[in-house]
Structure 1
Amino acid sequence: MCTMGSLRHFLLFTAAVIAVSSAVTAAHNITAILEGHPEYSQFNDYLSRTKLADEINTRTTVTVLVLTNGAFSSVTSKHPLSVIKNVLELHVLLDYWDGDKLHDISKGTTLSTTLYQTTGNAPGNLGFVNITDQKGGKVGFGSALPGSPLASQYTKSVKQIPFNISVIEINTPIVVPAVLNAPAPAASDYNLTGALEKAGCKTFASLLISSGVIKTFEKAADKGLTIFAPNDEAFKADSLPDLSKLSNADTVALLEYHAVAEYTPFGTLKTSKDPISTLAANGAGKFDFSTETSGDSVTLHTGVDSSRVASTVIDSTPLCIFTVDKVLLPAELFGNAPSPAPGPAPEISPAPAPESDAPSPSAEASAPSPLLSPPAPPTSSPGGAPADSPTADSENTTASKNSGAVNAPALLLLALLALSVYLS
């Protein structure tokens, strides 16, 4: 029969197991891992410069194929940052691979999904890596495209947190000509209004043109720019204040509030902890917003209302364009608006995949929708996010983003500890 004392010991043991499990699933930091290895300093630096470190840190199951400074210089010395980012994405596998698993591949060969596959720029097998156990202690890596050589060889294991993150060294970059030779347009090469119109944000594009703010965006784009564009439906919402009553200066501030003078991809948004300053910031107001992450969803909070990041239009260093479900209302302009009343959450359909090509130019944007709706409490909208990667095979199905899996074990841990104290 189970005594009270044995039950208490069992609960304490279970709590300890959960605590260890929670620690294992906690977020890792690829930059911190590589800082202890100066031979990978260049690789680590470019993970930070391209913001891929943030994306890696949001993944719960990931393998990073690192290169020494000498090996990686063959990429960095010849290519612009946007191409270097694509190459790095091919070296981030969305599965867990350590030395033991590499030498125990079913049928001796497999395909593994990479971060490049999730960008929408990788047709066919372009975003997959072929991993082949070549016996005799050798494991080869190469593009999954037919006829590609397995020119990269596994060298050694660097760091493993089992089934969470693995860092292993290969001796030479995985070379894919279609990636290395892909055109690398500058941000100024994009037609911003054309991209916005194509993404269903014609009203926003029209307001940018009529206010002259589009010139501000174009000027900032080459140094780093992220735009959060409300879709056309957002301007028809009953909850939207009458924007036609804004002065010209306030209209400019509102539009500039929808952009950040920095390249901020989705992975960086997911890991942001501090308020994010916008182009509207000035001495009279902060004009910033905060982010909240829930699984694969990111919600922007302005202090007046909230809006989810709905889809990715462009993600090409140093330019990002996202669509959002609602017009972002800064507290500096709408701080006296009535508090939002709770309402039913709208149904969310899967977010569209990112656009892979620069949009075609458009001569002029459509006229804005009527903006004369009286103020009303906005309806809350749960978060959403860009589409994620496909699965290569059964060995690659463990790829997922960090969805805060630590919370449930932590709550169970507290409950078990409380029960053990009560029973004692």
Structure 2
Amino acid sequence: MAISFSISHITLITFFYLLILSSSSSSATTTALNITSILSSFQNLTSFSSLLCSTSVASDLTRRDPITLLAVPNSYLSISPSSDLTRRLPPSSLGDILRYHILLQYFSWTDLLKIPPSGVLVTTLLQTTGRAHSNFGAVNITRNPLTNSITIQSPAPYSPSNATVLSLIKTLPYNITILAVNSLLVPYDFNLMASDTRPPLGLNITKTLIDGHNFNVAASMLFASGVVDEFEADEGGAGITLFVPTDVAFGDLPGNVQLQSLPADKKSVVLKFHVLHSYYPLGSLESIVNPVQPTLATEDNGAGSFTLNISRVNGSLAIDTGIVQASVTQTVFDQNPVAIFGVSKVLLPREIFGKASAGITTKPGNGVAVATVQPPETSPSPVNAPGSSDPASNLSSPSGFHEEIKSDSERYQLQSCIVALCCIGFYVVL
């Protein structure tokens, strides 16, 4: 009887360890994430999934967890500026853009709603490649305490690229969360000229600004918004004249001028407000007959709106918007049919930032007057915009996710515990 008990004891112990090893092995295999398989269940993410595959980023995620993936739905990926990036950039550069959308941290909905208004800095997969300067391979995630809306952007000040979280797509607790965002993010100081598929142009405005060294913020905004294409298309005919704020000018914007919080369409209007639809060398501007000049924004919004007043003040060429008076500081490029001038201030149109007749305040030391009585115009967010194919989502109560999804690894661990308890109970009975 003692021999029988000893054999049973050894057999049970051996069987117990084999089960544990088997369960551990099964659990380990589930850590390999097949991101395209997960995304295949969502028809509104087919284009984004294809980009992950075509750039080999999907294979980078096979053994990478925990992560939070920022996915752009088809309806947002097909419009500017996201569509411009996917069309222009070669696979290598586009791959780094996509790596910037992979956060190396798991965020549940509870985690997102606990983010302080000041934000948290999160490393992305791009940072691990060594191709991002400084900490520009990370993103800053902030939460609006009033609306609980989540915004994601570069940690660099005045970064022109940002995205808003639209909804929760899927979560496998502690392994992966997939969030829908309304735009592709461009890392600050990213090599915008890396494209080998860009069509030939008369003058590459973005490259010209980058070569000017003092216009990196403006160059990034022009590229991210997609309006640079329109500017370059207008090089023919009457030509164009651009007034480009320096990097210092963006840094001097008062705190109550929330340029980055504007919707994409209004950002485009502000950029077009800096462009005259005619070629004016410096001498022509100084002797201009009609000081009130329409801009490209005027053409989109109607005669008499979004005009600039150009005149000489104290021997310098001044540009007045009714809110801001800037001066021309340098000639960046001047060759018919394109003239590009650096200006000391960001030109703020009163149609967006308030009427000049309203009460205004001036930031000490920078001479920028900003309307404070009349609030800026607002427009529907991309989620609620007319014609949007995606339903609106409330961040605080995501639809379709009242139950947490258990990962395969958790199920295997639970199974292992049950089997182990059964074995122990069987051993005690014997």
TM superposition score normalised by structure 2: 0.39
Q: What TM-score do you get using the length of structure 1 for normalisation?
A: 0.40
